[in-house]
Amino acid sequence: MADDNRGGCPPDVVSYNTVIDGLLREGQVDKAYCLFDEMLDQGISPDVVTYNSIITALSKSQAMDKATEVLTRMVKNGKPKEAIAILKKMHRDGVEPNVVTYNMLMDYLCKSGRSMEAREVFDSMVKRGHKPTIATYATLLHGYATEGSLVEMHHLLDVMLISVNYPPKECLKRGYGST
């Protein structure tokens, strides 16, 4: 789809979205994903429509590793609220993100100084039946510590000890990278 310099109109996000949508409707998820990569290579920024289409299709086709990769790109491109909305839509559509997806989103939020939003993602994940991992707790603990949110940190340590019996030392080591 890339512009061939013949004087035509170069493709934009709308034209890519149209072709990606057509490929997905025909069940050609791999081709749609390749076109999504081409779009990025051409320097065309995906919009929420692009992300929503690709992530949903990849998730439904059980390609969660690729779906997580696309969600990561979305969050890194400054669209965490849209990523959260897509996660909610995925859940409504019967496609459940995994713990890795939730951890990635929480990590971004914590690194952006938004640990309270990360906690909302955590609570949503637990409410949906996902068991937090040591990495999940370490991410939130590190986010709280970086922001000086010691009360929240203490509450999370209590939750961690009561619900999963992880040793705090292990989570703190992972969260701070010490040995």
Residues 103 and 176 in one domain: yes
Any domain includes 6: no
Tell me how crowded residue 4 is: count the other CB atoms within 10 A of its CB. 8
Residues 17 and 65 in one domain: yes
Asked if 102 and 87 sit in the same domain, the reply is no
**pLDDT for res 49:** 87
The alpha carbon torsion through 142, 144, 149, 154 (nearest 10 deg) reads -80
The residue type of 62 is Q
Domain boundary among 95, 116, 146: 95
Residues 6+ apart with CB under 8 A from 29: 23, 57, 58, 61, 63
Q: Are residues 44 and 107 in the same domain?
A: no
* Tens digit of pLDDT at every position of the chain (179 positions): 655 566 678 899 999 999 999 999 999 999 999 999 999 999 998 888 888 888 888 878 878 778 878 887 887 777 877 887 877 777 777 777 788 888 888 888 898 898 998 999 899 889 988 889 989 999 999 999 999 999 999 999 888 887 765 555 665 555 555 44
Encoded amino acid at 82, one letter: E
Asked whether residue 74 is assigned to any structural domain, the reply reads yes
Print the domain residue range for 20.
12-95
